[in-house]
Amino acid sequence: MRLSPTLSLYISRHFLVSFATIFMVFLMLILLLDIIELMRRTASLPGVSLGAIVEMAALKLPHMGQQAVPFAVLFGGMAAFWRLTRSHELVVTRAAGVSAWQFLLPVVVIAFLIGVVMVAVVNPLASAALSRYELLEAQNLKGRQNSLAISESGLWLRQSNQAGQSVIHSKQVLQQDSGVELRDVIVFLHQKREQFGGRIDAGFARLEDGYWDMRDAWILEPEKPPRFEKSYRLETDLTLGKIQDSFAPPETMSFWDLPEFIRTLEKSGFSAVRHRLYQHALLAAPLMMCAMVLIAATFTLRQARRGGTTFIITGGVLTGFILYFFSDVVFALGLSDSIPVVLAAWTPAGVATLLGLAMLLHLEDG
């Protein structure tokens, strides 16, 4: 029997209402918890107003909402199918010759579209908001003064020390086991009052413990003749870890900007594993949404035969937590290069989809 458009719209409407309701509850809880956490972190910091805290929490909310979407799809699907099962509407539908695969199809399509919209539309907005949140957090909570930028022209790095600030530019970066090496280096020195303090041109610079070891350096200082130093040390508090952490986190970059940034990052000599993993995780998001619908259906269909609200709630919550921790473990393996990035990003969605299909095949076809 072919599923009628009226029945498809009816089931889809139930799912969308349940999804939207649960998603809004998640957003309100996340916003409240973020405000409380920011108030705790800023309790001992003067000058951070309540308005600034609310602004930071609101800017972080779209990013956190993205992470909550799969769980909203899971619990929204469970709530919708549970309501239809309790009213015996699904029982009548299946008795009329409509299989579970047929009445699940429109819901799966909607879940897939939710994933596409989240990646293509919501993600660029969320990344821009999170980027602004990171900036406010660095200024208000961390007092961070070091920053780094990667572009087609090379590496731009700003650092601070007791003498003031300095801006480092390098056309080529080599990341080796021994550390970071810069080629064709230019350093602009600034004193504490933003006065120009000089310039250093060096052919080579290596990051050591507490300083940059520069070779073949020309030092130019105001009102002094240029001088040549075979070896010159520039004080720094940077480490390889700090430099890598200074890159724009992949979460603060739009899905559409990630490919170009990955190419630029690799061209500059740095690893782009974290950004590639995030890119493929976004691509796998629509498949994960479909998997959540299939898993939600397995619990509601079993409920129709055995009964038990506790089984549905416990099973849904447990499944959500298992998938969350499983994804974290697989992503960690991908970040450490223990498994390929593509495998790490697509495994959680693939496993969840296969699990949902297997359970539905067992319940529906025996």
Of the three residues 230, 245, 260, the one that is the final residue of a domain is: 245
Same domain, 138 and 151: no
253 lies in some domain: no
Same domain, 277 and 237: no
220 lies in some domain: yes
Of the three residues 229, 245, 261, the one that is the final residue of a domain is: 245
* Residue 39: Cβ within 10 Å count: 14
Same domain, 205 and 318: no
Tell me if 282 sits within 8 A of 347, measured CB to CB: no
pLDDT tens string 51-110 = 889 999 999 999 999 999 999 999 999 999 988 888 888 878 877 777 778 889 999 999
- Comparing 117-131, 209-223, 284-298, which segment has the lowest mean pLDDT? 209-223
- The domain total for the chain is 2
128 lies in some domain: yes
User: What is the pLDDT averaged over residues 264-287?
Assistant: 85
For the record, the structure tokens of 204 come out as 């080579």
Confidence label for 14 from pLDDT (cuts 50, 70 and 90) = very high
213 lies in some domain: yes
Q: Which domain holds residue 200?
A: 147-245
CA 150 to chain centre: 19
For residue 16, the surrounding DSSP H or E stretch is: helix 5-41
Same domain, 30 and 107: yes
Confidence label for 131 from pLDDT (cuts 50, 70 and 90) = confident
231 lies in some domain: yes
Q: Can you point out the beta strands (E) in 127-251?
A: 147-151, 154-161, 164-176, 179-191, 196-208, 211-220, 227-235
Confidence label for 268 from pLDDT (cuts 50, 70 and 90) = low
Q: What is the CATH number of the domain that holds 184?
A: 2.60.450
- Who wins on pLDDT, 319 or 68? 68
Average model confidence (pLDDT) across the chain: 84
Same domain, 135 and 280: yes
pLDDT of residue 302 exceeding 90 = no
The per-residue pLDDT for 118 is 96
Same domain, 360 and 320: yes
Q: How far apart are CA 218 and CA 226, in angstroms?
A: 7
203 lies in some domain: yes
Same domain, 125 and 13: yes
262 lies in some domain: no
The per-residue pLDDT for 129 is 93
* Residue 106: Cβ within 10 Å count: 19
Same domain, 213 and 309: no
Same domain, 161 and 127: no
Residue 342 burial (10 A CB sphere; 0-12, 13-18, 19+): middle
Same domain, 18 and 166: no
Same domain, 279 and 137: yes
The per-residue pLDDT for 304 is 47
- Comparing 51-55, 255-259, 309-313, which segment has the lowest mean pLDDT? 309-313
* Residue 78: Cβ within 10 Å count: 27
User: What is the pLDDT averaged over residues 246-274?
Assistant: 79
254 lies in some domain: no
Q: Decide: helix, strand or coil at residue 219.
A: strand
Same domain, 26 and 136: yes
